[in-house]
Structure formats: C-alpha cells, structure tokens
Structure 1
C-alpha cells in the first residue's frame, strides 16, 4: 500500500530525515514512535507531500508519488489528519464535512459513513467548529479525512491533549477502521495505545529509524528505553 525508501527531508538547509524507509501493507496499522523532535511529523508531512522530499521515494499502491502535490495523493486514496485538531473554525461541523466532500466529489453516503464513525458529532452539525471542545474538533478532523474514503489514513498524534473519554472513542474508531481493512499510519506517543492497536511499529531518533518490530516487541525493555523522555 505504502512504500517509503531512503526518504530525506527537512526545512531549508536543516535536514531532519536521514534515509527513512518503511512500508504499510494493505489493512495494516503501523505506528511511528519516538521522543519529541525526532522527525515524526516531518516524516508524515513528507509522505503526504506537505514537505518536499530532498531524496528517496514515496510510492502508494505501486505508483511513485514522490513529486505529486498533496491533493493528487488524496485523489489516489491517501488522507492525512495533522497534529493540532485542524478544522475550519468559522464553518459549522456540517460545513467542514461538506467542503471536503465537494472538493473530492464524493457521494453523500461518505458523509454519513464518517458520522457513523463519530456519532458524537451528529447533534453538533450546526455548531461552529471553533466552539467545539478539543476532542470534538479532533473527531471532526478525522471525520473530514474519512469523507474522502481513503485506502490509507495517516494520523499525527490524534489523542494528544484530549480528554480521556474522547481518547477512548478515537481509539475505538481507529480500531474499527483497521478491522474494516483500512491501512493506517499512526504517530502516537502513548505506548499503551500503540500496544493495543499496532501490527508493527518503528521508532525514530534524530531522523533515523533506530528500532522496529511487531507489537509484541513493544514490551521489550529496549523499546521502552528508546521512548523514555
């Protein structure tokens, strides 16, 4: 589904990623972990085309997308929920979903499916997104991505700074999406959540992959040491 080979990227002259390689198979959930500032968000931004790759290749469903703009990657079946509960605050919940639906020319059923994933949003459709709680905004951000009916969902720390009750709802939603066959690339700091959800993981440090394995390997002391602050 997703193949990243020798990826390098950064900001101006500051290189952040140094030859990152990873893969996500169809229906697989891969978790990217690591301390703050090691390049996790830069990796997702580059995979999605928000940042240009300076070396290496990103392929999706067998097609080289390294030089494609983000909207072309979305059209192919990639969807990205960046860190920070990104919504259009001046629009209603429904407006946020419709903007995405119209942009991708999707069927109305896709909107209904997204709302089924996050039923908490249904009574809030007329409320401005800017007046939602942080957890509700995050649910809306993920629902907007789901409106595109992606084959690969990319999530950057979707549970960061969110009240525990909604963390549980988001985790359950990710689990259902994964069980339905959707591939997921997830950046997550919460080790216990990664243990419950991930098929495989990789750990970044200073822009390099320093450890990878199956979910069972996350229980190893070496893994926990690499994630310690």
Structure 2
C-alpha cells in the first residue's frame, strides 16, 4: 500500500527527517508516535507531498509518487487531514463537504457515507464551520477527507485538544473505518488510544525511527520512556 524508504526532508537548510522508513500494508493502521518536535508532522507532510523529499522515496500501491503534487496523490487514493481542524470556516458544514466532493468528482453517495461515520454532523449541516466546536470541526475535517473515498487515510493528531466525549467519537470512527478495510497512517499522542487502534507503530526521535513493531510491543517500558515529555 504505502512504502516510505530512507526518507529525508526539512525546511530550507534545516533537515528534520533522517532516513525514515515505514510501511502501511493494505487494511492496516500504523500509528506514528513521539515527543513534540521529533518530525511526525514533517513526515506526514512529506508523504503527502506538502513538503518535498530531499532524499529517499515514497511509493503508493507500487507507484513511485515521491515527486507528485499533493492533488495528484489525492487522485491516486490518498487523503490527508492535517493538524488543526482544517475546514473552510465561512462555508456551512454541507458546503465544506460539497466543495470537496465536487473537486474529487465523487458520487453523492460518498457524502452520505461520510455523514454515517459522523452522524452528529447531520443536524449541523447548515451551520458555518467556523461556529462549530473544535471537536466538531475535526470531525468535519475527517468527513471532508472521506468524501474522496480514499484507500489510505492520513491523520495528524486528530484527537489533540479535543474534548473527551468527542475524542471517543473520533476513536470509534477511526476504528470503524479501519474495520471496513481502510488503510490508515495516524499520528497520535495518546498511548492508550494507540494501543486500542493500531496494528503496528513507529516511534520517531530526532527525525529517525527509533522503535517499530506490533501494537502489543507498545506496552513495554522502553516505549514509555521514548514517549515521555
């Protein structure tokens, strides 16, 4: 599905990633974890083409996409929900979904499917996105990604700063999507949530993968030390 090999990237002359490799197999959920500032968002931005790779490669479904633009990766079946409730605040909830649906040239059924994942958005369809709570905005951001009917969903810290009740709803939605066979690459800060959702994990430290394995291996003391603030 997704293969990242020896990936290097950064901002200007400041290199952030140093030879990062990971893989997301079809239908699997891989959780990327690590302290603040270790390169998690940089990794996702480079995988999605928001940042250029300076070395290494990104392959999706057997195709080298390292030099493709973000919109080209979306057309291939990738969807990205960056950190920070990415919505069009002046548009209604429905308007946000329709703009994305039209850009993706998708069927109306894709909108209905996204709202089935987040049914609490249905009574809010006429409300401007900017007037939603942070948690509902995050749900809308994920729903916008889902209307493209991706085969790989990339989520950057979708539960960060969200009220606990909506964290539960987002977790249940991710679990449901994963159970349906959708491949997911997830950056997550909460170890307990990662333990419940992930098939595999990768821990970054100083721009490198320092530990990777199955979800069961997340329970070790060494993992807790690497994630400690």
Q: TM-score range by the shorter chain?
A: over 0.9
Runs of 4+ in 1 over 4 A off after TM superposition: none
1:100 is matched with 100
Task: Give the whole-Å Cα distance in 2 for the aligned partners of 1:154 and 1:189.
Answer: 15
1:198 is matched with 198
Q: How does 1:1-16 map to 2 (within 5 A)?
A: 1-16=1-16
Give, in angstroms, the shift of residue 10 of structure 1. Answer: 0.2
TM-score by length of 2: 1.00
Q: How does 1:30-41 map to 2 (within 5 A)?
A: 30-41=30-41
Does 2:185 match 1:185?
Answer: yes
Query: Structure 1: where are the runs of 5+ without partners?
Result: none
2:151 is matched with 151
Give, in angstroms, the shift of residue 18 of structure 1. Answer: 0.3
Q: How does 1:41-52 map to 2 (within 5 A)?
A: 41-52=41-52
2:75 is matched with 75
Task: Give the whole-Å Cα distance in 1 for the aligned partners of 2:120 and 2:85.
Answer: 16
Task: Give the whole-Å Cα distance in 1 for the aligned partners of 2:78 and 2:60.
Answer: 8
Does 2:87 match 1:84?
Answer: no
TM-score by length of 1: 1.00
1:62 is matched with 62
Query: Structure 2: where are the runs of 5+ without partners?
Result: none
SS in 2 for 1:116: helix
SS in 1 for 2:196: helix
1:19 is matched with 19
Task: Map Cα deviations across residues 3-37 of structure 1 (whole Å, 9 max, x no partner).
Answer: 00010000000000000000000000000000000
Task: Give the whole-Å Cα distance in 2 for the aligned partners of 1:203 and 1:164.
Answer: 24
Task: Map Cα deviations across residues 124-143 of structure 1 (whole Å, 9 max, x no partner).
Answer: 00000000000000000000
Task: Give the whole-Å Cα distance in 1 for the aligned partners of 2:10 and 2:94.
Answer: 36
